[in-house]
Amino acid sequence: MTAQTATPIEPATRPSTPRDARRTRRLLAAVLLPVAPLSVAVLRTIFPSFSASDTTESLELIAANTTAQEVVAWLGVVMSLTMVPAILAAVRLARRRRPVLAVVTAGVNLVAYLGAGPLFAADMMALVAARPEYGAGLTGYIDDVMAHPANAFGLGAFIVGHIVGMILLGALLWRIIPRWASVALIVSQPLHFVAFVILGVQPLDGFAWLLTAAGFAACAYTLVRTPDDDWDLPPVTR
Query: What is the rounded distance in angstroms from the CA atom of residue 93 to the CA atom of residue 49?
Result: 37
| Interval 77-89: pLDDT, tens | 899 999 999 999 9
Is the pLDDT assigned to residue 2 strictly greater than 80?
Answer: no
- Nearest partner of 170 among 151, 180, 183, judged by Cα: 183
What does 110-162 look like in DSSP terms, one character per residue?
HHHHHTTHHHHHHHHHHHHHTSTTTTTTTHHHHHHHHHSHHHHHHHHHHHHHH
Query: What is the rounded distance in angstroms from the CA atom of residue 38 to the CA atom of residue 171?
Result: 21
Mean predicted confidence (pLDDT) in 115-131: 80
Question: Over the Cα atoms of the chain, what is R_g?
Answer: 24
pLDDT at 44: 94
Is the pLDDT assigned to residue 48 strictly greater than 60?
Answer: yes
Residues in the chain: 238
Is the pLDDT assigned to residue 15 strictly greater than 70?
Answer: no
Q: With 0-12 CB in 10 A as exposed, 13-18 as middle and 19+ as buried, what is 145?
A: middle
Contact (CB, 8 A) for 232 and 25: yes
- Nearest partner of 62 among 120, 119, 126, 124, judged by Cα: 126
pLDDT at 72: 92
What does 120-134 look like in DSSP terms, one character per residue?
HHHHHHHHHHTSTTT
Of all residues in the chain, the percent with pLDDT exceeding 90 is 56
pLDDT at 99: 94
> What are the phi and psi torsion angles at 87 (to 5°)?
-60, -45
